[in-house]
Structure 1
Amino acid sequence: MNNSAQKPGLRERKRRETLQRITDTGLKLFLSQGYEETTLDAIAEASGISRRTFFYYFKSKEEILLAWQSGTGAAIAAAIQEQTADKAPIDAVLDAILSLASQFDANELVAIERLLRSTEELRASKHAKYVQQEGAVFEALCAKWPQARRRDSLRLIAMASMGALRLAVDRWVEEGTKRPLAKHLRETFESLKAELGRQS
């Protein structure tokens, strides 16, 4: 088999690198200057691209934050694939999220979460992206446990897990990160599993 057919070409790699550079630059400017105060021209200049090139990748600066969220969903899905199939699916999701949470800077993550809540438009878009993340988790679970009879239960686990993630992050931010995010995640998932056990 030709391995070159499986690897992204030079043009695609450059496109991904530019996309990531704009996203990272935009986030840094949002956090240092404020979302409303950061202009598209400032993002383009700091990213080393033209305004026209910016619009090739993003239609608005809001999409930079949403791209970060989309990347989170893909990262959770990839981490689920690294889990062993002898775990319960809900534990595989939790362990995947915990492994990712340990890689983030807590202060930066809180700042981004607050940015996503700063306007009505961003809040609405944030909720829509959670649905996409749920879909990514569901697909990852189905790939790990491909039996057709399990699809409905795996979809429920994906939905409930993303709800538990949202609740854990909300509590963590509201408490001012006094306790580690991992503690909130474990508590929320344990509550979820306990409630599911009562319904069985």
Structure 2
Amino acid sequence: MRDPQPRQDDPQKREGLRERKRRETSQRISDAALELFLNRGFDATTLDEIAEAAGISRRTFFYYFASKDDILTAYLGRRTDELMAAVRENSSAGEPIDVVCNALIKLASKFGDRKTIATAGLVSGSEFLGIRNQGRYLTFEQGVADALFELWPKKERRDSLRLVAMVSIGALRLAVDSWLEHGGKRPLAKYIEEAFRNLKAEI
């Protein structure tokens, strides 16, 4: 009997390892850059300093990010998948607006660290970065809508679910603005609760 052929490596497993290494490197660059931004200032930090702090070459930096601006916007924009998952996980909360509210409140605990507050402050203080960050809210809105479509799949409900996504992300924006204005002294979840309470009182 012939010996069985050695099993070939699973291409999907290899791809998974590559993707994990890529994510880890991207995270290392992001973490190093954010520390420099917070300690030295965004404008004063150079790409060479970021590359050196992350232990990579300048050329490798551009494989992961187009510019140092992208690091900030990417950092604040990583929440879409988490938000969609949270909406799905809170499907028992009741009506769609309550589902989204609960999801946002549960995610809010991840937004309260010093780095997030300071990074959001850097973005809001820059007109250019602030404009780019507005696109992240549109991404949040679409992610919420897609998650709601999964929970309530009837096509005739799509317009009303899109409206729920729009006003919910609008409430989130107001909550985040108030939270930053007060320097994160109270938990973000409190501002989200207040924003949704005010929203419901007006509709």
Give the corresponding residue for 1:24. Answer: 31
Note the residue ranges of structure 1 that are not aligned, 5 or more in a row. none
2:41 is aligned with what amino acid?
A: G
Instruction: Say which one has the larger Rg.
Output: 2
Note if contact 1:168-1:181 (Cα within 8 Å) is conserved in structure 2.
yes
Change (3 A) 1:6 1:89: farther
- In 1: Cα distance, 2:52 partner to 2:168 partner: 39
1:192 partner SS: helix
Q: Map residues 49-60 of structure 1 onto 2, 5 A cutoff.
A: 49-60=56-67
- Give the alignment partner of residue 172 of structure 1, picking from 179, 183, 196: 179
- In 1: Cα distance, 2:137 partner to 2:197 partner: 21
Give the TM-score, by structure 1 length. 0.88
- In 2: Cα distance, 1:67 partner to 1:7 partner: 26
Give the corresponding residue for 2:156. Answer: 149
Give the TM-score, by structure 2 length. 0.87
Change (3 A) 1:175 1:9: closer
Q: Map residues 115-130 of structure 1 onto 2, 5 A cutoff.
A: 115-130=122-137
Deviation digits for residues 89-140 of structure 1, max 9, x if unmatched?
A: 1111111111111133343322111101122110110112211121111111
**Aligned-residue identity in percent:** 51
Change (3 A) 1:6 1:166: farther
Note the residue ranges of structure 2 that are not aligned, 5 or more in a row. 1-9
**Dislocated runs of 4+, deviation >4 Å:** 3-8
1:13 aligns with 2:20: yes
Deviation at 1:6, TM superposition (A): 8.6
Once superposed, what is the RMSD of the aligned Cα atoms? Answer: 2.0
- The alignment of Structure 1 onto Structure 2 pairs a total of residues equal to 194
1:109 aligns with 2:116: yes
1:101 is aligned with what amino acid?
A: A
